[in-house]
Chains A and B, each alone.
Chain A
């Protein structure tokens, strides 16, 4: 038995901070029962997914009813829904993040946008830059198709750019109009997806600036990635009557559970930290089973995951946008103290587990 060493975490010096965030959802919110009813669902095996109880409500862009039920949407209608949603919710989330800093879109130097639920050319960054009057020399990157883990992949990009360019303002925008990737058929796989994912957009402003203090938000200290290559097919888009349909293997939660310790141990280990040193866990609201798997494999409790669970309950799985919704809940709670440490975990196709270390 060795002598205990006190936590020897060394503050990282100058690192970019998440200085503000914003979120937005479609105006219409539905209970799970309402969604099942609107789709005219009668199959008891499919209805059980809607009645599981872990999700209460989701914000969705659903089309006008025809004869009391939701009509099938064409490919073009789904593409339009993604485009319009990205512009509407993207602008709302960006404005919400800029307002507390007294800044405008013109002040943004780097703009990284993520989306898995639709494809546009030019990309969302171009449309939003045009609509919101960004500067015409804004650096832009559109990251597509990375799935639920992408929020941290995008944060890696914005953090790296702002770290080497102190004082510059980076914007991360996670746009997930999941209802634009719904396919409605009698398949149980699509039923899982249709009962789980919600529409939402989140934005984070990142900046490395000496005048920003911990009250504004956490420094992004480090990242650690993990890809489980043998499970590359476990979460993927497939074509269903020429529409993209998301496939989710039933083993995904267990594969993630069995692997989540690996990146976490590497991330914490190189900063001389233990899991017990972490004050806040900001975890993607993937679904109840994957949340259970992470809890039991990392020794976390429902309390550690309270925001992850509440985001799942109130919004469903918002794909890459969800971890910033959890961070917003944590911030609203008002319990963060100077010097606190946080870990964020996002999981998605690949199978990918992304992690980040934060400090306030």
Chain B
């Protein structure tokens, strides 16, 4: 397993758990973390023995948002670092494994963005979610693209433009989270969540998730073409062939 300065990575069976791990800065996101996550994505994508990637914080915080130490007043600001972040986000969103966000404590800015990218999102009761970027004078990345699809434009405007925080229960209510539990049973809840995702059929996962991610952004005429191409791939996959052979033999 590679060693990362900003992440702690564990593998148990076919589940890889990534802990955002910058204790001095409450797991804030710097360029090093973006590079580490990108490298990890390469490894997980190529690993045949991984089915699930879990994203967690550490030390009772999920993530405190962007680390401003990467910026300097001595040079003109440019967009390229943030573009690299978005590229990494897209990789995570389209990863060929199940992805789970497991949130404990505060989940701010870029951390909240990471949560939106995952297939399943759970939190313990004390977790809080907030996009504070507009309040601070910049933008919460492509959360402006993804958040309204989860919770509707009105609620998304309120969260992003006012920077107000919401608690886990409300996030559950709004469909941002799939499960909320007491912190004492967080590990068990996470395990149950992972078990619900399996078995892992990579083609069906990739195709299904891609269609879902595209569903708001396309016309029916385009989408039906995409669906047919995706379904054709799924019904020619190993998983579907196995299903048919089981049914035929019964």
Residue positions of A touching B, CB distance < 8 A: 1-4, 52-53, 253-254, 257-258, 274, 276, 288-289, 292-293, 295-297, 299
Between A4, A257, A276, the greatest number of chain B beta carbons within 10 A of the residue's beta carbon is seen for: A4
27 contacts between A and B (CB under 8 A): A1-B1, A1-B11, A1-B49, A1-B50, A2-B46, A3-B1, A3-B2, A3-B43, A4-B2, A4-B43, A4-B46, A52-B221, A254-B229, A254-B232, A258-B233, A274-B42, A274-B46, A289-B229, A292-B225, A292-B226, A293-B232, A295-B229, A296-B210, A296-B226, A296-B229, A297-B229, A299-B94
**Contact across chains for B43 and A258 when beta carbons are under 8 A apart:** no
Residue of B nearest to A251 (CB): B232
Chain B, range 200-215, C-beta contacts under 8 Å to A: 206-207, 210
**Contact across chains for B47 and A1 when beta carbons are under 8 A apart:** yes
**Contact across chains for A297 and B233 when beta carbons are under 8 A apart:** yes
**Contact across chains for A296 and B1 when beta carbons are under 8 A apart:** no
Does B236 make an interface contact (CB < 8 A)?
Answer: yes
Determine the chain A residues whose CB is within 8 A of the CB of B11 once the complex forms: 1
B49–chain A nearest beta-carbon distance, Å: 6
Determine the chain A residues whose CB is within 8 A of the CB of B228 once the complex forms: 289, 292
Determine the chain A residues whose CB is within 8 A of the CB of B207 once the complex forms: 296
Given contacts A4-B2, A299-B94, whether A257 and B229 have CB atoms under 8 Å apart is yes
Between A274, A293, A296, the greatest number of chain B beta carbons within 10 A of the residue's beta carbon is seen for: A296
Does B165 make an interface contact (CB < 8 A)?
Answer: no
Determine the chain B residues whose CB is within 8 A of the CB of A1 once the complex forms: 1, 11, 16, 43-44, 47, 49-50
Residue of A nearest to B210 (CB): A296
Interface of chain A, main secondary structure = helix
Q: When chains A and B are docked, how far (Å) is the Cα of A3 from the Cα of B4?
A: 13
A228–chain B nearest beta-carbon distance, Å: 13
Would you give the 0/1 interface string for B34-63, flagging 1 where the beta carbon is closer than 8 Å to chain A?
Answer: 000001001111110110000000000000
Residue positions of B touching A, CB distance < 8 A: 1-2, 11, 16, 39, 42-47, 49-50, 91, 94, 206-207, 210, 221, 225-226, 228-230, 232-233, 236
Determine the chain A residues whose CB is within 8 A of the CB of B45 once the complex forms: 276
Determine the chain B residues whose CB is within 8 A of the CB of A253 once the complex forms: 229
Q: When chains A and B are docked, how far (Å) is the Cα of A280 from the Cα of B215?
A: 26
**Contact across chains for A257 and B232 when beta carbons are under 8 A apart:** yes
Q: When chains A and B are docked, how far (Å) is the Cα of A289 from the Cα of B224?
A: 10
Which 10 residue pairs are nearest across A and B when measured between Cβ atoms? A292-B229, A1-B47, A296-B229, A4-B43, A292-B225, A293-B229, A254-B232, A4-B42, A296-B230, A258-B236
Beyond A3-B43, A296-B230, 7 additional pairs, beta carbon < 8 A: A1-B44, A292-B225, A293-B229, A295-B229, A296-B207, A296-B210, A299-B94
Q: When chains A and B are docked, how far (Å) is the Cα of A52 from the Cα of B221?
A: 8
Determine the chain B residues whose CB is within 8 A of the CB of A292 once the complex forms: 225-226, 228-229
A340–chain B nearest beta-carbon distance, Å: 15
Determine the chain B residues whose CB is within 8 A of the CB of A254 once the complex forms: 229, 232
**Contact across chains for B225 and A53 when beta carbons are under 8 A apart:** no
Q: When chains A and B are docked, how far (Å) is the Cα of A1 from the Cα of B206?
A: 20
Q: When chains A and B are docked, how far (Å) is the Cα of A80 from the Cα of B225?
A: 38
Determine the chain A residues whose CB is within 8 A of the CB of B94 once the complex forms: 299
Given contacts A292-B225, A296-B207, whether A258 and B47 have CB atoms under 8 Å apart is no
Q: When chains A and B are docked, how far (Å) is the Cα of A261 from the Cα of B78?
A: 37
Given contacts A53-B221, A296-B210, A299-B94, whether A4 and B39 have CB atoms under 8 Å apart is yes
Determine the chain A residues whose CB is within 8 A of the CB of B210 once the complex forms: 296
Determine the chain B residues whose CB is within 8 A of the CB of A289 once the complex forms: 225, 228-229
Determine the chain A residues whose CB is within 8 A of the CB of B1 once the complex forms: 1, 3
**Contact across chains for A257 and B50 when beta carbons are under 8 A apart:** no
**Contact across chains for A299 and B43 when beta carbons are under 8 A apart:** no
Q: When chains A and B are docked, how far (Å) is the Cα of A295 from the Cα of B232?
A: 12
A252–chain B nearest beta-carbon distance, Å: 12
Determine the chain A residues whose CB is within 8 A of the CB of B43 once the complex forms: 1-4
Determine the chain A residues whose CB is within 8 A of the CB of B221 once the complex forms: 52-53
Contact of B232 among A4, A52, A258 (CB under 8 A): A258
A265–chain B nearest beta-carbon distance, Å: 13
Determine the chain B residues whose CB is within 8 A of the CB of A4 once the complex forms: 2, 39, 42-43, 46
Residue of B nearest to A254 (CB): B232
B226–chain A nearest beta-carbon distance, Å: 6
**Contact across chains for A288 and B2 when beta carbons are under 8 A apart:** no
Determine the chain B residues whose CB is within 8 A of the CB of A288 once the complex forms: 225
Q: When chains A and B are docked, how far (Å) is the Cα of A293 from the Cα of B43?
A: 27
Q: When chains A and B are docked, how far (Å) is the Cα of A126 from the Cα of B226?
A: 44
Q: When chains A and B are docked, how far (Å) is the Cα of A238 from the Cα of B42?
A: 48
Determine the chain B residues whose CB is within 8 A of the CB of A274 once the complex forms: 42, 46
A305–chain B nearest beta-carbon distance, Å: 12
Q: When chains A and B are docked, how far (Å) is the Cα of A293 from the Cα of B49?
A: 27
Q: When chains A and B are docked, how far (Å) is the Cα of A297 from the Cα of B207?
A: 9
Q: When chains A and B are docked, how far (Å) is the Cα of A276 from the Cα of B39?
A: 12
A257–chain B nearest beta-carbon distance, Å: 6
Q: When chains A and B are docked, how far (Å) is the Cα of A173 from the Cα of B91?
A: 39
Q: When chains A and B are docked, how far (Å) is the Cα of A296 from the Cα of B233?
A: 8
Determine the chain B residues whose CB is within 8 A of the CB of A296 once the complex forms: 207, 210, 226, 229-230, 233
Between A1, A289, A293, the greatest number of chain B beta carbons within 10 A of the residue's beta carbon is seen for: A1
Residue of B nearest to A4 (CB): B43
